[in-house]
Amino acid sequence: MTLHQNLIAGEWIGKEGTKNVSPSDTNDIVGTYAQANADDAKMAIAAAKAAFPAWSRSGILERHAVLRKASDEILARKEELGKLLAREEGKILPEAIGEVTRAAQIFDFFAGEALRLAGEVLPSARPGIGVEITREPIGVIGIITPWNFPIAIPAWKIAPALCYGNTVVFKPADLVPGCAWAIVDILHRAGLPKGVLNLVMGRGSVVGQALLDSPDLAGITFTGSTATGKRVALSSLEHNRKFQLEMGGKNPMVVLDDADLGVAVEAAANSGFFSTGQRCTASSRLIVTEGIHDKFVAALTEKLKSLTIDNALKAGSHIGPVVDDKQLAQDLDYIEIGKKEGAKLAFGGERLERDTPGFYLQPALFTEATNKMRISQEEIFGPVASVIRVKDYDEALSVANDTRFGLSAGIATTSLKYATHFKRNSEAGMVMVNLPTAGVDFHVPFGGRKASSFGPREQGRYAAEFFTVVKTAYTLP
Ligand SMILES: NC(=O)C1=CN([C@@H]2O[C@H](COP(=O)(O)OP(=O)(O)OC[C@H]3O[C@@H](n4cnc5c(N)ncnc54)[C@H](OP(=O)(O)O)[C@@H]3O)[C@@H](O)[C@H]2O)C=CC1
Ligand SMILES: O=C(O)CCC(=O)C(=O)O
């Protein structure tokens, strides 16, 4: 099998590799991918540092052309890349193709942003003096990404980094090197100068840690667990560098008595269970008022019964496997915890056997849960959701906000009054009305509050806050 190597200073290098195994079928080897070590990471950082002066001064047409070309190729290959993504991560093929399309849109958006770089000219408080405010790239950026969006998350970090003139060392999650390699290969062939984008695939504890320990990174942008996010933060304070963290969620989905039942059930099923519940924007707390509670639980249970859980590549699958055995064990542990805490397992929660050996789990729906339970407070990151019964809107809002996280929050209601109040008073970075809590646009800010996020927002033109630094220049002509 061809060895997919790391890209350092414009050269593909690496001798030893590990096998990338599909969670839908553990006999399916997606590819062999090189494993970098700490020295490789240091070489990659040195290469990015050497490439920074030229790239930071490169013309906007050059940056535009590379990003645009990458977008075009990703879009043209969306079926093939979608299949790769579905094989290595376990997301069903239509979702995977959708994610690839989103990556292409992100590169297209930032190709445009390269042409829209702007500053401000202001009069000084002192007559005769001019003040210019401009944005400059920050330097070498370390990008550390998780496994659950293996092409979209790298895209929404790499595209703005390059657009604003930074150079990059990219460490993808060890479980999903395939999409990472493909995206770097595309950008490399699109004409990036040597060293501007470097790929170091390997373990977080080795390669990721080497990035954290480096004094030469000007910034680290990270998506993943709260525990690793904390390490990124502490090491960044030590090295006086910028950092941006997107971490967990325990997102609420409120369903009010006046909701359209069909809309509420579709939103809850999507939020809680699609993509196998492996989204930081997933909703695992369904907060439902008394008047609609029983109808909602019955309709959601029927919906869950109708879903097919099977190989991500199989036509007709609605939900693929859990990403690996470790995550499956975590999901099953939480299902046991929920039962012991006194919640009622109303549906699912069983491990499933399919034609191909994989990590299949029947979506699990708890009822009679309280917000104090661990299943209501800790991120499970699997197809497990709980219904919490509440008296009225006021209690629903209070329960929705009673969490240390604050990424996204949803409400199903036909009341303009409650929708408006919820948008204003939800303690989340993103609020959805009559829509799933997950599945966001590519051109608007993404991020949360409280323990979910730290630092400036990602995506859209707000990305400039992290990937640039402002300079204020005074001139006496
Ligand atoms: N907010 C989100 O979108 C995500 C949240 N999670 C949450 O985190 C839980 C665990 O998932 P997991 O994949 O282990 O999350 P991690 O935080 O461990 O992984 C995220 C990234 O950080 C890397 N990493 C791990 N350790 C270090 C380190 N010491 N220094 C630098 N980088 C490091 C990982 O590398 P590698 O994996 O290659 O070892 C990966 O690239 C999930 O169950 C879920 O609750 C997970 C993924 C995404
Ligand atoms: O819901 C989405 O579209 C994005 C979710 C996400 O970024 C994540 O789970 O890490």
Cβ of 324 closer than 6 Å to ligand 1, yes or no, is no
Q: Is the CB of 283 under 6 A from ligand 2?
A: no
Asked if residue 300 belongs to a domain, the reply is yes
% of residues, the chain, pLDDT over 90: 99
**369: pLDDT confidence band, cut at 50, 70 and 90?**
very high
Indicate the pLDDT class of residue 146, thresholds 50, 70 and 90: very high
Domain membership of residue 100 (yes or no) is: yes
Per-residue pLDDT at 202 exceeds 90: yes
CA 392 to centroid of ligand 1, rounded, Å: 37
| Nearest listed ligand to the Cα of residue 453 | 1
Same domain, residue pair 98 and 224? yes
Instruction: Specify the ligand 1 atom closest to the Cα of 248.
Output: 1
Domain of 414, CATH number, reads 3.40.309.10
Q: What is the ipTM of this complex?
A: 0.97
Kindly state whether residues 428 and 460 are assigned to the same domain.
Answer: no
- What is the mean pLDDT of the segment spanning 117-127? 96
Query: How many angstroms separate the alpha carbon of residue 435 from the centre of ligand 1?
Result: 28
Q: How far is the CA of 102 from the centre of ligand 2 (A)?
A: 12
pLDDT recorded at residue 318: 98
442 within some domain: no
Q: Are 93 and 128 in the same domain?
A: yes
Asked whether residue 268 falls in the same domain as residue 399, the answer is yes
Residue 15 has pLDDT above 90, yes or no: no
Residue 342: predicted pLDDT: 98
Q: Residue 352: what pLDDT?
A: 98
Residues 6+ apart with CB under 8 A from 432: 267, 408, 409, 410, 411
Nearest CA to ligand 1 atom 46: 224
Judge whether 215 lies within some domain.
yes
Given a cut of 90, whether residue 16 has pLDDT beyond it is no
Among all ligands shown, which has an atom nearest to the Cα of 408? 2
**Closest ligand 1 atom number to CA of residue 147:** 47
**Which CATH number belongs to the domain containing residue 44 in this structure?**
3.40.605.10
CA 170: distance to chain centroid? 15
Pocket perturbation via mutation, ligand 1, pick of 225, 250, 408 by most ligand atoms within 8 A of CB: 225
User: Whose CA is closest to atom 2 on ligand 2?
Assistant: 439
| Whether residue 205 has its Cβ less than 6 Å from ligand 1 | yes
Which residues are designated catalytic?
246
In the reported structure, the alpha carbon of residue 249 is separated from the centroid of ligand 1 by a whole-number distance in angstroms of: 14
Domain assignment of residue 446, yes or no: no
When pLDDT is averaged across residues 335-363 and rounded to a whole number, the result is: 98
Phi, psi of 370 (to 5 degrees): -115, 160
Mutate-to-test residue for ligand 1 from 228, 283, 328, highest number of ligand atoms within 8 A of CB = 228
Residue range 424-443: mean pLDDT, rounded: 98
- Among residues of the chain, what percentage have pLDDT more than 70? 100
Residues 324 and 182 in one domain: no
340 and 229, same domain (yes or no) = no
Residues 167 and 300 in one domain: no
Residue 57's pLDDT band, with cuts at 50, 70 and 90, is: very high
Average pLDDT over residues 415-444: 98
Whether 10 is in a domain gets the answer yes
- 193 and 209 both lie in a single domain: yes
Task: Give the ligand with the smallest distance to the CA of 200.
Answer: 1
Same domain? 160 vs 24: yes
* pTM of full prediction above 0.90: yes
Task: Decide: 224 in ligand 1 pocket, CB within 6 A.
Answer: yes
Number of domains in the chain: 2
223 lines ligand 2 (CB under 6 A): yes
In a domain, 50, yes or no: yes
Task: Kindly state whether residues 46 and 81 are assigned to the same domain.
Answer: yes
Q: What is the mean pLDDT of residues 96-101?
A: 98
The verdict on 98 and 118 lying in the same domain is yes
Give the ligand whose atoms come closest to the C-alpha of residue 38. Answer: 1
Q: Is residue 443 part of a domain?
A: no
Provide the pLDDT for residue 1. 80
Whole domain around residue 44: which residue ranges? 3-247+452-475
Same domain, residue pair 317 and 413: yes
User: Rounded to the nearest whole angstrom, what is the distance from the C-alpha of residue 31 to the centroid of ligand 1?
Assistant: 21
pLDDT at 341: 98
Q: Is the CB of 144 under 6 A from ligand 1?
A: yes
Per-residue model confidence as pLDDT tens digits over 305-315: 999 999 999 99
